[in-house]
Amino acid sequence: MSADPLEPLLDRPFTTAEARAGGVGRRRVHSSRLQRPFRGVRTVVEPRTVLELCASYLPRMAPHEFFSHATSALIHGMWLPLPLEQRLELDVAVIKPHRAPRDARVHGHHLIERPWLVVERRGMRTANAVETLCQLATVLDDDDLVVAAESLLPPRRTSSAVELDRIQAAFSDPDRRSSRRLARVAPRIRVGSRSAQETRVRLLLVAAGLPEPRINQLWTGPDGGTTEGDLVYPEQRVWIEVEGDQHRTDRAQWRKDVVRYERLTDLGWRVVRITADDLRLRPAETVERVRRALLRAR
């Protein structure tokens, strides 16, 4: 009994041409049991995430194609609005004179050739991170673009300052598409945010006319112990904590937070805790809570 020629292909995406060349019959290649994420591609399981969809596209990806825009941003791990993170479609780019790809799940783009435009990440050809940010200016609003940029600039990483310089240089190029937006956004980008929510809270406070807080500020207590605040006004001794789900679901983290906040209060700090719902549903009230804490410090 001969081995099944389809069996070796089932653990990864494969093309119909590859299957037929391996001896798989036409009927089996077109079986309804196989998923069809793209023309000429088959998988056993339907892709559920953008990265899984990327993996499904690779078997048919031409050598001159590469991922760009929102798809590239997700490959680089940038913070994007949830609808873009969950959009099961791909941005695929080429340099002219190549023709941009077409498929029901593919947005094709023509891009200008730039030095070191294409890099490899996670085993995939994609636009480099700074070029990806510039591309995102065509699909994101100002605040979302700041958030995406700051995802590349974590605190206490030695390369963050150099990366910020690269971003600023690219955003200042007047010949780029969306150059006005890029120039408007560039001065608002900071190094040091640990989450998209931290960035959004800072942008909200500054837009409301409040002073800009310091990001992930380390503070040393009288006993010599150090602690870090998400957003801090050291002169006014106002400490803002942006609460993620880990603070709620991790009991050890929750207990640690309780002790830390009590200690800060005992030492004269005003602690303002801000949740995702505070930011999304009660932005004006959230601003006023911080404003009142700053006024009480005077």
Cβ atoms 231, 243 nearer than 8 A: no
CA 11 from chain centre, in angstroms, equals: 29
pLDDT mean across residues, the chain: 92
pLDDT at 1: 41
Cβ atoms 54, 90 nearer than 8 A: yes
> To 5 degrees, how large is the angle CA 280–CA 286–CA 292?
175
Q: What is the pLDDT of residues 83-138, one digit of tens each?
A: 999 999 999 999 989 999 999 999 999 999 999 999 999 999 999 999 999 999 99
State the sign of the Cα–Cα–Cα–Cα dihedral 177, 181, 184, 187.
negative
Distance CA 144, CA 134 (A): 12
Is pLDDT larger for residue 118 or for residue 32? 118
Mean pLDDT over residues 217-231, rounded?
81
Q: Could you give all domains of the chain from N- to C-terminal order, each with its CATH number?
A: 7-46 (no CATH), 52-188 (no CATH), 196-296 (3.40.960.10)
SS in 3 state form for 76-113? Answer: CCCCCCHHHHHCCCEEEEEECCCCCCCECCEEEEEECC
Is pLDDT larger for residue 28 or for residue 141? 141
Distances in Å between the Cα of 238 and the Cα atoms of 89, 132, 229 are: 43, 36, 10
Percentage of the chain lying above the pLDDT 70 cut: 96
pLDDT at 2: 52
Cβ atoms 105, 67 nearer than 8 A: no
pLDDT tops 80 at residue 244: no
pLDDT tops 70 at residue 236: yes
Q: Which of the four pLDDT bands, split at 50, 70 and 90, describes residue 248?
A: low
Q: Cite the beta strand spans of the chain per DSSP E.
A: 14-15, 41-42, 66-67, 90-95, 106-111, 118-121, 124-127, 214-220, 226-233, 238-242, 270-274
